[in-house]
């Protein structure tokens, strides 16, 4: 796909700050069960945090963004297995304007979807934003907040420190669109952790990245 050949250059500006931060970042101590309990017991507080996130409020602390993202799995709107075939078809057909507009509409229903937010950012070079700059900057900021928070949950390079996500789809977005993985060679489970063996286009050497998507696993069960 032609778009994939240019995707890295479209997102690099977004992730420069995250990459620099990643060299010195501190990892948060995430208790997924506690977050789910807090969201269930105090939905009004969660609603307030979600409203601030939707407004791209950068004063949200990293633990508050974590509550927004991981706490979403405790809401009735959580649907980790959603797919967007109409968006995929539009991208494949290089109808980028339609793909962008569909992604903007769908993200209203799935506000923490990494796939939809990443679509929006990567499609921008092909879109005439006109009077939609503020809308785009809001969505771009939200993606940056989520990525920065997710990457602070673990190193991803050892099974004892996995990167924690709320869906398989978010894991795949990180692998393919953020880490620029060329090929997924194999996958296995180590307890609740997914060990994903990968290669990059620059080398045939195999690496393993570790993810915790136990929230989706619990949802399926």
pLDDT value at residue 15:
47
Instruction: Give the number of other Cβ atoms within 10 Å of residue 68's Cβ.
Output: 24
- Residue 127: give the domain boundaries: 2-220
Tell me the whole-structure pTM to 2 decimals. 0.88
- The total of structural domains in the chain comes to 1
pLDDT value at residue 125:
87
Q: Could you give the count of Cα atoms lying within 13 Å of 88 in the half-sphere of its Cβ?
A: 5
Please give the full DSSP string across the chain, using - where no structure is assigned.
-HHHHHHHHHHHHHHHHHHHHHHHPPPP---HHHHHHHHHH-HHHHHHHHHHHHTT-TTS-HHHHHHHHHHGGGSTT--TT---HHHHHHHHTT-HHHHHHHHHHHHHHSTT-HHHHHHHHHHGGG---TT-HHHHHHHHHHHHHHHHHHTTS--SSSTTSPEE-S-HHHHHHIIIIIS-EEEEEEEEEETTEEEEEEEETTEEEEEEEEEE-HHHHHHH-
pLDDT value at residue 13:
40
Q: Which two tokens stand for residue 90?
A: 């539009």
Written as tens digits, the pLDDT of the chain (221 aa) is: 444 434 434 444 444 444 434 445 568 889 999 999 999 999 999 999 999 999 999 999 999 999 999 999 999 999 999 999 999 999 999 999 999 999 999 999 999 999 999 999 999 888 888 889 999 999 999 999 999 999 999 999 999 999 999 999 999 999 998 888 889 999 999 999 999 999 988 888 999 999 999 999 988 87
- The angle subtended at Cα 218 by Cα 154 and Cα 37, nearest 5°, is 75
Q: Which two tokens stand for residue 212?
A: 């915790």
Instruction: List, as own/partner pairs, every contact residues 128-131 make where C-beta atoms lie below 8 angstroms and the sequence separation is at least 24, other chains included.
Output: 128/97
pLDDT value at residue 171:
96
pLDDT value at residue 27:
81
pLDDT value at residue 25:
57
- Rounded Cα–Cα distance for residues 99 and 32 (Å): 33
Instruction: Give the number of other Cβ atoms within 10 Å of residue 3's Cβ.
Output: 17
Q: Which two tokens stand for residue 51?
A: 């409203």
pLDDT value at residue 95:
96
């Amino acid at each position: 796909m032609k778009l994939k050949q240019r995707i890295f250059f479209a997102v690099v500006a977004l992730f420069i700050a995250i990459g620099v931060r990643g060299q010195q970042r501190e990892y948060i101590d995430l208790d997924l069960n506690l977050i789910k309990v807090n969201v269930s017991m105090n939905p009004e507080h969660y609603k307030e945090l979600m409203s601030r996130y939707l407004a791209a409020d950068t004063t949200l602390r990293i633990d508050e963004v974590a509550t927004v993202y991981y706490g979403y799995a405790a809401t009735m709107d959580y649907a980790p297995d959603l797919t967007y075939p109409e968006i995929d078809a539009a991208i494949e057909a290089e109808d980028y304007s339609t793909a962008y507009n569909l992604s903007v509409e769908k993200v209203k229903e799935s506000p923490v979807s990494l796939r939809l937010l990443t679509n929006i950012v990567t499609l921008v070079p092909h879109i005439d934003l006109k009077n939609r700059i503020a809308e785009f900057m809001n969505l771009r900021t939200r993606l940056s907040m989520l990525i920065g928070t997710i990457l602070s949950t673990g190193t991803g390079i050892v099974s004892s420190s996995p990167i924690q996500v709320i869906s398989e789809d978010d894991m795949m977005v990180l692998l393919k669109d953020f880490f620029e993985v060329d090929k997924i060679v194999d996958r296995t489970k180590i307890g609740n952790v997914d060990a994903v063996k990968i290669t990059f286009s620059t080398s045939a050497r195999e690496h393993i990245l570790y993810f915790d998507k136990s929230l989706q696993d619990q949802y399926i069960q």
